Amino acid sequence: MDSYRIGYGEDAHALAPGRPLVIGALTIDGSPVGTVAHSDGDVLLHALSDALLAAFAMGDIGQYFPPSNPNYRGLDSRVILQTVLQRVADQVGAYRIVNLSAVVVLDQPRLGPTRRDIQRQLAGELGIDASRVGVTFKTSEGMAPDFIQSRVTVLLQTE
Ligand SMILES: [Zn+2]
């Protein structure tokens, strides 16, 4: 019998000049700031990976990729996501992602022009159609100018 699972995850990183800004596996060209992180600091992929694990009560990415492990320095977050997708499949068998809704909170740079590219990147990583990938951009209204945050909800269907 089909059943549905919902997952929620969130993540935040500090911003600093001279670092790459990667959001949803897309590097934002020309950004004056980027994320301070052990991995590439992709808040959206981290929140999404946690949401996928949370949907099946499988903990969080910190268990699978502890920040204390020097091997994960500069890690491409697509590796984290693909590892999580595989771990979920190992545990629950066949499943599909019905849709996801991702929010990114960032004051600068403005991300509106990158929405389609981020949707396409995420859809490609997940093997789903871009129409199933909602991406919402917000600013902190100046309350958290030195941080980037992301929150992701995902709906999954198992067989
Ligand atoms: Zn993170």
Distance 147 CA to ligand 1 centre (A): 12
Confidence band of 1 (pLDDT split at 50, 70, 90): low
Note the pLDDT tens digit of each residue in 7-42: 999 999 999 999 999 999 999 999 999 999 988 999
Between CA 107 and CA 8 the distance in angstroms is: 23
Between CA 47 and CA 106 the distance in angstroms is: 15
Confidence band of 107 (pLDDT split at 50, 70, 90): very high
Mean model confidence pLDDT for the chain: 95
CATH fold of 3-158: 60s Ribosomal Protein L30; Chain: A; (3.30.1330)
Per-residue pLDDT, averaged over 80-102, amounts to 97
1 or 42, higher pLDDT: 42
Distance 10 CA to ligand 1 centre (A): 9
Distance 64 CA to ligand 1 centre (A): 13
Distance 102 CA to ligand 1 centre (A): 14
Residue partners of 69: CB distance under 8 A and separation at least 6:
none
Distance 126 CA to ligand 1 centre (A): 19
Confidence band of 89 (pLDDT split at 50, 70, 90): very high
Distance 13 CA to ligand 1 centre (A): 6
Q: At residue 108, does pLDDT exceed 90? A: yes
Distance 137 CA to ligand 1 centre (A): 17
The predicted pLDDT at position 73 comes to 83
Cis peptide before 109 (omega within 30 of 0): yes
Distance 52 CA to ligand 1 centre (A): 15
> Other CB atoms closer than 10 Å to residue 133's CB: what's the count?
24
Sequence letter at residue 135? V
Note the pLDDT tens digit of each residue in 119-149: 999 999 999 999 999 999 999 999 999 999 9
Give the three-class secondary structure for 54: helix
Per-domain residue ranges of the chain? 3-158
